[in-house]
Structure 1
């Protein structure tokens, strides 16, 4: 829980810097590149996170990595601050929070639509336009299939879930019948 609060704080600061510089998308890509590098290189991540290594050695390693990635000065400085404050291990959570804040700033929502059967393009576009109208934001819809729903759809937008599935309706009927 605390790590999420820390990640959100750093992510929000970087999004604000990105907005000031007109580089929100670029910063997101660069942060993603660095995060992917850490995910793919456990030794590098371990060294940068470990208190067993001197901070000067970790700074030098980070500088070399950042030079090879050719990141912007702002993102490079941001990552150096994370290293200096012992927060480099939060980079994946920061990248996730950054994407959320960047979407908010850009007026984008990324709902997940789950249906019992595959939807055709017209149905997906219809749902997309209905969600855009309801939220007043640009919609980047992700569709998936879960046959356990029996029928209907479940739409998740952030923390909100709109459940119009047959499975949920049957469960409600069952609860009513059991309660008498």
Structure 2
């Protein structure tokens, strides 16, 4: 279902010549959802009515300066009681835009926020490894302690301290 919504949004954005603007707006929505547990509860909770979700999320979009096609899309999703799937719609839309631009999407989870210089360097290294431009989706997970987890397509590279410590703990159990 999320894919159908994302495809419809992409088709409308392409028809209006607003792919870049809508992509920017959807990235901002994804960032806001990833950073706010309250916002995630709003979109996922069946306790709120469709109208309450629409009004509350509309206020969030207005405060973030998101309007036009993207705001109308989110309103439609809320009216249809599909706001719970908004995070998946954002991911699906990003994937469609990446394919359209000839890019590969990569999800990077780090223990601390990457600086722009680090993100640029990582994107360049991934571009060299996969041979195509890379669109980074960044998340922060402090439980990783250090390092990062990178997913490009079906490949995953996990260099986090959390994983290394878990591996060491298992190795110690086998010895003892």
SS in 2 for 1:140: strand
Give the direction of change, closer, same or farther, for the CA distance of 1:50–1:111 in structure 2 (3 Å limit). Answer: closer
Report the counterpart of residue 71 of structure 1 in structure 2: 66
Length-normalised TM-score, structure 1: 0.57
SS in 2 for 1:103: helix
Report the counterpart of residue 115 of structure 1 in structure 2: none
| Structure with max Cα Rg | 1
Give the CA deviation at 1:65.
1.0
Give the CA deviation at 1:68.
0.6
Q: Which runs of 5+ in 1 are unaligned?
A: 1-5, 113-120, 133-137, 143-155, 161-180
Tell me, yes or no, if structure 1 residue 14 matches structure 2 residue 14: no
Which aligned pairs between 1:1-180 and structure 2 lie closer than 5 A?
Answer: 6-109=1-104, 128=128, 139-140=133-134, 158=153
User: What is the root-mean-square deviation of aligned Cα atoms in Å?
Assistant: 3.2
Give the direction of change, closer, same or farther, for the CA distance of 1:57–1:111 in structure 2 (3 Å limit). Answer: closer
Aligned residues: 126
Deviations 1:97-116 (A, max 9, x none): 1111112222334589xxxx
